[in-house]
Amino acid sequence: MSTTGKQLFTTLDSDGTLTVAIEDVTFSDPTGNQVLVKMEAAPINPSDLAILAGAADLEGAEYSPGKFVARMPEPFNTGDPRRAMG
């Protein structure tokens, strides 16, 4: 039996498109020594939110329920190459 919940996802594409969305996810049943903890709510620290979207064009963003898509200007859209995945 799996459990469903919501998770915050953020993506920054190479063209500077920032997407922040709360999406439905399915969590597998825990196995072995694992546990699954149900969280009723979790705040977002304002300083974390400023780092996440502070440079984005929020006035020109597209908003829909649980999601916004905004443009991130240079040099913020390239990120730090030392943190590149891969």
Domain 3-28+36-80 class in CATH = alpha beta
User: Is the full-model pTM beyond 0.75?
Assistant: no
The answer to whether 57 touches 70, Cβ cutoff 8 Å, is yes
Cβ within 8 Å of residue 66, ≥6 positions away? 21, 22, 23
Q: What digits encode the pLDDT tens for the residues 2-27?
A: 889 899 899 888 888 999 999 999 98
Mean pLDDT over each residue of the chain, to the nearest integer: 85
Helix, strand or coil for residue 49?
Answer: helix
The pLDDT score that the predictor gives to residue 70 is 94
More confident residue, 78 or 40: 40
